[in-house]
Chain A
Amino acid sequence: MILVLIVVDEEVFINMCLHYLASLAPQVRCVDLLELYDVKVSVKETGRRIVHGVTARLTKPGIYIVMGPNGAGKSSLANAVMGHEAYRVEGRILLDGQDITGLSTAERALRGLTLASQNPEEIEGVRVSEVFARIIKRFRGVESTAEALGLARELLETLGLPASMLNREYMVGMSGGERKKLELARVLAQKPKVALLDEPDSGVDVESLRLVANAVGRLVDEGSIVVLITHQPRLLHYLEPSEVYVMYNGRVVAVGGYELVERIENEGYGWAAQLARSAGAP
């Protein structure tokens, strides 16, 4: 079938595309999904700038790796993209072509953007099942609680977590590894358009790395753009990244393929530091 679209202007095109094409085939993308234009991030309290103008366009489902040493600004950038109140953001952040910089964190999440946090919070007295049921109903349009919980069990299983975890209080008294895995299952439950994963591999044993990689793969299978922040290449042995970004001192100093991962594995970040200096960093 041939579709002829008479393009009046960009906005009309995007709307038509979103309404008609995307409903026919979930793989169809009408616009770049996440776009960052010259995004600068500073800490509100001190005024110190920690990200010095990042531009990136993530256009199709896949795994986008952000690597860099501690203090490169990776987590700050991710939290700034989510709208954390500690950061002041300059530049534009677009999700599905819409500027989201004025939206609250919850509104960003409802539009399909989320972050797997390095430090998931405990919610005392609230069971994992309740959190997951609410999320699955809201983000996946599931109406029955039984069906939502069925899916929740399946998502936990993807991460090697027992179904009995549903009865535990959310994140309360869990080990580091359990937290990381449950957090990824939570992100999966939201079926996000864009998932920012902030070091899902840190503090996870080798055995569990494969499970984390499974979850990332499943996110991509379900059509998500995955932005995977890490400073160790171990997890990447299990994944096929679409693109690799290397950050150093608040700048993206290199964009490329898997060869960048290998270079970091072999040489560390010394070369990135040099690139950052030549880009004007102190």
Chain B
Amino acid sequence: MAGRGLSVKEAGMDKPLTDLSRDDIVEFSRKRGEPEWVMRRRLEAYEYLKSSPREPLIDGLLEKVTYRVFIEGLENPILSVSEAVEAARRLGVRPEEIEIIYSGFSVDIDNVMVKTTLKYLKSRGVVFTSMDDAVKRYPLVKDYAFRGLNPTLNRKTAYHVMLWSGGPFIYLPRGVRLPQPLQGVFIIGREGLGQTEHTLIVLENGAELHWIEGCTTPIALRYAVHLGGLEAFVMSGAKLYVTSINNWLGEVHHMPVKRVIVRGKQAYAELTSVAFRSTTSNTAPRIDVYGEGSKATIQNIGLYQGEQRVRGSPLLTLHAPRASGQVLNRTVVKDEAFEEFYGRIRAVKGAVGAVGYMSCNTLMLGERARSITVPAVESEEKNAELSHEASVGRISYNKLYYMALMGFSEEEATWMVVNGFFNPVVHKLPLDVQVEVRKIVELALLGH
């Protein structure tokens, strides 16, 4: 994994990422050898940032990262392949399945299964490569990249587009269904801005994909920001399942941007996030359903602990007649963690017969945990049906006592109840992910 010679002029390297100049962005893009259109998207993002007001929750975190640290992180990952493999294993990826995309480098782990899989994918016309490579080699990328995650969508997205590097591009031709999930692991191996990977997924008519991404760090970091992005386009009859597992160590601020565009009819898209440790987390996954009769789900399960601060603002927009979807949030808040949830479902005028449902359930462990839930449903279409329900609960003494009659200690009982609480979402996920969620919950609640 040699560096790419992205050496930037020494002068001005110690400025924060929030103070980059137009020239810095032009040079960054040139050094990476990107086509003009990519540079233009980065510059659009730059201009948007110039003209929109600062947001403390976003700019405040990026101000602490210098341009030097950002560039050095891309050039010299401190992570060795074996460290990366170890980190991936901790996320439940079996060694024989490991294919690591690290800041644009595809780590070649000499193993037969990965090679066989890649060969199989290629024979079906599937493209599975890094975005750095894809923007140069595949003209079709231009039609999709940064159109879902438009740089003028909001400030966070603009920062992502301006600074993105690496990540996978996945393209499934018409009718190709992959029986096994594809899996990617994003690892922050160094202090500073850790990851700005960009994932682009395009599913043609009738294609089907389950993409699992795990995000972690091999060691506890002093300070890192995860500003990854994912955009996907789902055509008629296609089905996309995306599962993201986040389990960070150290002071990591998790602020990814995600957007799925369901273009085709009778299609399905599902964004699942499984959120464990981070210092702060600020997520706003969006799905836009443009296809008639298409469906979508945005769901999150999270176990927040310590002094974690979590803000989730999923947005599901139903644009088409008979489009439907749900937003589900099931979280456990313990210790002094604080969760804010601002879920939103919109039915746009013309979405006749659209159906949207939101459900937020929070389980509080301990007296000092806090949670705020503000669900919103907005309908511009009078013939759309949107609803929501919410609950906040604690594990009652009587439940713990009852389970103690079976010999379960308070910790064991809590662990079982929490697993059960997550189950409505977890039981539909791939088996590997289920096992991993259980392990992480076990570690968080039982300490082993």
**A117 contacts B by Cβ under 8 Å:** yes
Task: Decide yes or no: A105 and B424 within 8 Å by CB, A123-B416, A123-B417 being known contacts.
Answer: no
> Per a CB cutoff under 8 Å, which of A83, A106, A123 touches B407?
A106
Q: Which residues of B contact A106 (CB under 8 A)?
A: 404, 407-410
- Among listed A16-24, A66-74, A108-116, A245-253, interface-contacting one: A108-116
Quick check: B407 and A109 within 8 Å, CB to CB? Answer: yes
**A75 contacts B by Cβ under 8 Å:** no
Quick check: A114 and B405 within 8 Å, CB to CB? Answer: yes
Quick check: B399 and A121 within 8 Å, CB to CB? Answer: yes
Residue of A nearest to B423 (CB): A125
Contact residues of A between 60 and 97, Cβ < 8 Å to B: 82-85
Residue of B nearest to A105 (CB): B404
Residue of A nearest to B412 (CB): A106
Task: Decide yes or no: A124 and B420 within 8 Å by CB, A85-B397, A106-B409 being known contacts.
Answer: yes
**A224 contacts B by Cβ under 8 Å:** no
Residue of B nearest to A172 (CB): B420
**A131 contacts B by Cβ under 8 Å:** yes
Quick check: A109 and B404 within 8 Å, CB to CB? Answer: yes
Quick check: A131 and B406 within 8 Å, CB to CB? Answer: yes
A115 to B421, CA, bound (A): 25
Q: Nearest Cβ distance between residue A88 and chain B, in whole angstroms?
A: 16
**B398 contacts A by Cβ under 8 Å:** yes
- Chain B contributes a number of interface residues (CB within 8 A of A) equal to 22
Quick check: A135 and B420 within 8 Å, CB to CB? Answer: no
Quick check: A117 and B405 within 8 Å, CB to CB? Answer: yes
Quick check: B405 and A82 within 8 Å, CB to CB? Answer: yes
Quick check: B402 and A117 within 8 Å, CB to CB? Answer: yes
Q: Which residues of B contact A28 (CB under 8 A)?
A: none
Q: Which residues of B contact A258 (CB under 8 A)?
A: none
Contact residues of B between 360 and 402, Cβ < 8 Å to A: 396-399, 401-402
Residue of A nearest to B402 (CB): A121
Contact residues of A between 124 and 141, Cβ < 8 Å to B: 124-126, 130-131, 134-135, 138-139
Q: Nearest Cβ distance between residue B152 and chain A, in whole angstroms?
A: 42
A212 to B402, CA, bound (A): 20
What is the 8 Å Cβ interface bit string for chain B, positions 298-342, against chain A (1 contact, 0 not)?
000000000000000000000000000000000000000000000
Q: Which residues of A contact B421 (CB under 8 A)?
A: 124-125
Task: Decide yes or no: A121 and B420 within 8 Å by CB, A85-B397, A106-B408, A106-B409 being known contacts.
Answer: no
- Chain A contributes a number of interface residues (CB within 8 A of B) equal to 28
A186 to B406, CA, bound (A): 8
A120 to B396, CA, bound (A): 13
Quick check: B407 and A139 within 8 Å, CB to CB? Answer: yes
Quick check: A110 and B407 within 8 Å, CB to CB? Answer: yes
A110 to B403, CA, bound (A): 12
A138 to B397, CA, bound (A): 23
A84 to B398, CA, bound (A): 9
Q: Nearest Cβ distance between residue B359 and chain A, in whole angstroms?
A: 14
What is the 8 Å Cβ interface bit string for chain B, positions 407-448, against chain A (1 contact, 0 not)?
111100000110111111000000000000000000000000
A126 to B405, CA, bound (A): 17
Q: Nearest Cβ distance between residue B226 and chain A, in whole angstroms?
A: 30
Quick check: A114 and B406 within 8 Å, CB to CB? Answer: yes
Q: Which residues of B contact A169 (CB under 8 A)?
A: 420
A119 to B416, CA, bound (A): 19
Q: Nearest Cβ distance between residue B423 and chain A, in whole angstroms?
A: 3
B interface with A by C-beta (< 8 Å): 396-399, 401-410, 416-417, 419-424
7 A-B residue pairs with Cβ-Cβ distance under 8 Å, sorted by A, are A105-B404, A109-B404, A109-B407, A121-B396, A123-B403, A135-B406, A186-B406
Closest 9 CB pairs of A and B: A125-B420, A125-B423, A105-B404, A126-B420, A109-B407, A106-B404, A121-B402, A121-B399, A110-B407
Known: A114-B406, A123-B399, A125-B423. 18 other contacts (CB 8 A): A82-B401, A82-B405, A85-B397, A104-B409, A106-B407, A114-B405, A117-B402, A121-B396, A121-B398, A123-B403, A123-B416, A124-B417, A138-B407, A139-B407, A169-B420, A186-B406, A190-B406, A190-B407
